[in-house]
Amino acid sequence: MIDATIKTPLKRGHDLLRDPLLNKGTAFTEQERDSLGLRGLLPPKVLTQDDQAKRAMQQLHAKPNPLEKYIYLTSLQNRNETLFYRIVMEHLEETMPLIYTPTVGQACQEYDHIFRRPRGLFISAEDRGQIADILANWPEDDVRVIVVTDGERILGLGDLGANGMGIPVGKLALYTACAGIHPAQCLPIMFDVGTENQSLLDDPLYIGLRQKRLRGTAYDELFAEFVQAVQERYPNALIQLEDFGNAQAFRLLKHYRDQICTFDDDIQGTASVALAGLYSALRITGQSLIDQRILFLGAGEAGIGMGDLIVAAMVDAGMTEADAQARCWFVDSKGLVVKSRTDLVAHKRPYAHDHAFLPDLLSAIETLRPTALIGAAGQAQAFTREVVEAMTHINQRPIIFALSNPTSKSECTAEEAYQWSAGKAIFASGSPFPAVDYGGQHFTPGQANNVYIFPGVGLGVIVSGARRVTDEMFFVAAQTLATLVSEDDVAQGRIYPQLANIRQVSAHIAAAVAKVAYARGLATQPLGNPDHLFAKIQAQMFVPEYADYA
């Protein structure tokens, strides 16, 4: 259950002003200033939150570039979280690219150099045997969502070590802004086991461990200690795995998914948002899912995760699993994934088909003639003019998803996709692109952002008290998201709902996920009247309004 209230603070004076969850700044009333020992610690003028919001936006707009805006918003979050979320929620289309992708990518690359104030918990390889004590240092007793990373595969940028902490912080900000989970119930964690990034190890300002990454049994034992400590301190917490390397991500998810309440957003969340995009795209093409032949560039966490969920959706539509897998093809860094290859890791083998090897993406397109092309390899400009033109030659309306983040890693831009396809492409990207005018048409490119999925899934898990997170939950999340795309959206080529409606989207997805938890016997919270579930969820969502401490 979500507790969206802030109780009367026990803190006073400077301690109160330094607590971002409780601080109201110049909005403390005259009575509050007297009763809480704030008289003289603030300018005499009492301002409303509206006044503060106007000033904050003025300050934000004065910053010269996205990174400086990220730093400003982070500083605001660290001193007044209520005002921070008011700004983010009212200006989501402007602020989300700043607090998350694409700007968070640059912020993580420079995290040690822009570091001001720690946020969340840092657990390192040197803390073996003490992780429970570290979790006990966190001041909140009712954490419901933990986002943890080891920083090995941050977006498409690779190993950023402890600098990857910007990802859990950003993800949890979206949990609050987009799904109304109270910020006091969110905990970002950096699981620092070292880095293979030599430039970080050589940087005297690097904030993480100066050692190569912990591997093997030592890593597993440390992570097991972390999981056990979380179960003891926060038994009701969902653990979201984020931006682990491929080997660790698949292994950890497989090991823990049936033991604790956990999921991997890169594998399952990305898959869900991509499947929702396919459902919407098929409303434009007039085709069915089982008629698709899908070619993926990239066979890592995101690519294989998408393949697995699309296969599940095809099976749900009436296909056998073998036939559904035969509809999904992968090109990795070596070429087409086929049976004759001897270098395939376990998660690729179900998609290794009996076919002649093809060395590159273009030859795979020309030979396999896919209806949809999905990029998730972090290879900038991999969808060349020749690639897009080949897809357009094969399909009347080619489905082209360039999902790699941040923007610098996108396989192609929206403008390139529309121009090279003569306006025929149904396009989506991982990072946002502006609208495109081409051939007398106005195109609004879809952003296949996981923010459409993971906050709602997390909210549904919390509301139901689900003991596990299942693939079925991500399947129904994708179905729900697709139904929320309006006919007007589709007419503009938009295959995802407008971002301004994200809290309603999250509430709908939460209701669908909670219903799965109740139907499968995974829920621990009472259901009540199922017809009132959606309204119940909306009523519990955090609203960034100041509490009255008088």
Q: Give how far Cα 374 sits from Cα of 111, 211, 293, 387, 453, Å.
A: 30, 36, 11, 12, 18
Which one is catalytic: 24, 69, 70, 100? 100
Tokens of 357: 């090897």
115: left (phi over 0), alpha (psi -120 to 50) or beta: beta
Active site residue 171: yes
Query: What span, in angstroms and rounded, lies between the C-alpha atoms of 33 and 12?
Result: 10
Helix (H, G, I), strand (E, B) or coil at 438: strand
Per the CB < 8 A criterion, the answer to whether 258 and 342 are in contact is no
Q: Which amino acid is at 51?
A: D
Residues facing 146 on adjacent strands: 187, 239
Q: Give how far Cα 447 sits from Cα of 91, 222, 265, 400, Å.
A: 17, 37, 16, 12
Torsion over CA: 21, 234, 502, 305 (sign): positive
20, 55, 112, 170 alpha-carbon torsion, rounded to 10°: 60
Residues 6+ away with beta carbon under 8 Å from 98: 66, 69, 70, 73
Active site residue 212: no
Q: What H or E segment, with its residue span, contains residue 192?
A: strand 186-192
Per the CB < 8 A criterion, the answer to whether 58 and 515 are in contact is no
Q: What value does the CA radius of gyration of the chain take, rounded to a whole number of Å? A: 23
Query: What span, in angstroms and rounded, lies between the C-alpha atoms of 302 and 512?
Result: 23
Which one is catalytic: 171, 348, 515, 536? 171
Show which residues are catalytic.
100, 171
